[in-house]
């Protein structure tokens, strides 16, 4: 059974472990009968009328959860982990929803709204009706990003993977065929949209983070020479906001 687990606002400006890293580490706590498919980072607006800590990003785990095991067990484990590891002063939120739950359509619509405008906790709670949504400290504002992360990830058309198989152990130079063997598609974003050949090489710039496009991980590249491509993304320094939660 496909299940989406979203978390947000677990850190503070001075935290060494952000929400994305916390989400990836939580995967190691999962029941042996479950399987992590991936972790997706969702970027929400960087606006002065929307409170955020550093990047205003939320994270969503995509899981294959055993059908014979109640999802409530996953919720209990996630709550325990979140309450043990969030940073004091943050406003953590958790959202858990199965792919076939009736709430998913409303969560997805809510996620698209969050991507472009300020929303409220009340609206997040309404969107998640029937799914699990809970706050675990501070203002509980994290429920907004957690719900948005689930909805946007479930749509299959938003976010980038920060965990996917051996993603973080890929070498800087890798062939298109090797990426495909890791179930990562390669798409050119140059003007002519040429198709990268299987034997072509990709410079990942040591930061291969494929986008979630059509429910699949897709690495976006641009040409850098004959038979050579370059990842369009790169690691950035942490950004902070003057908006205080």
What per-residue confidence (pLDDT) applies to 99?
Answer: 94
Alpha helix segments (H runs only) across the chain? 19-26, 71-85, 103-114, 121-127, 142-155, 176-181
Residue 245 is predicted with a pLDDT of 34
Q: pTM score > 0.85 for this model?
A: yes
Q: One digit per residue, pLDDT tens: the chain, 245 residues?
A: 999 999 997 655 666 677 888 888 888 778 667 889 999 999 987 656 566 555 678 999 999 998 888 899 999 999 999 888 878 778 899 999 999 999 999 999 999 999 989 999 999 999 999 999 999 988 899 999 999 999 999 999 999 999 999 999 999 999 999 999 999 999 999 998 899 999 999 999 999 999 999 999 999 999 999 999 999 988 876 554 434 33
CATH number assigned to the domain with residue range 2-161, chosen from the 4 options 3.30.70.2200, 3.30.420.40, 3.40.30.10, 3.40.50.720 = 3.30.70.2200
| Contacts for 67 with CB less than 8 Å, ≥ 6 apart | 1
DSSP 38-49: EEEEEE----TT
pLDDT at 55 (0 to 100): 64
Parallel, antiparallel, or unpaired: how do β-strands 57-64 and 160-163 relate? Answer: unpaired
Q: Give the number of other CB atoms < 10 A from CB of residue 161.
A: 23
Q: What residues contact residue 220 under an 8 Å CB cut-off, 6+ apart?
A: 187, 188, 189, 210, 211, 231, 232, 233
The domains of the chain are located at 2-161, 170-231
């Amino acid at each position: 059974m496909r299940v989406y687990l979203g978390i947000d606002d677990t850190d503070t400006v001075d935290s060494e472990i952000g929400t994305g890293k916390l989400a990836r580490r939580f995967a190691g706590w999962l029941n042996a009968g479950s399987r992590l498919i991936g972790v997706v980072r969702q970027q929400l607006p960087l606006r002065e009328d929307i409170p955020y800590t550093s990047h205003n990003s939320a994270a969503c785990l995509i899981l294959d959860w055993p059908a014979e095991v109640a999802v409530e067990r996953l919720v209990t484990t996630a709550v325990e982990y979140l309450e043990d590891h969030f940073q004091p002063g943050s406003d953590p939120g958790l959202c858990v929803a199965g792919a076939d739950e009736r709430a998913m359509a409303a969560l997805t619509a809510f996620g698209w709204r969050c991507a472009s405008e300020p929303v409220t906790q009340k609206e997040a709670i309404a969107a998640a009706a029937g799914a699990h949504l809970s706050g675990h400290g501070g203002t509980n504002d994290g429920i907004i990003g957690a719900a948005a992360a689930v909805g946007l990830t479930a749509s299959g058309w938003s976010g980038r993977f920060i965990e996917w198989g051996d993603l973080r152990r890929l070498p800087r130079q890798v062939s298109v065929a090797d990426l495909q063997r890791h179930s990562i598609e390669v798409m050119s974003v140059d003007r002519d949209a040429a198709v990268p050949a299987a034997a072509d090489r990709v410079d990942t710039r040591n930061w291969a983070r494929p986008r979630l496009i059509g429910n699949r991980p897709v690495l976006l590249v641009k040409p850098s020479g004959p038979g050579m491509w370059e990842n369009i993304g790169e690691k950035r320094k942490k950004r902070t906001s003057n908006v205080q939660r």
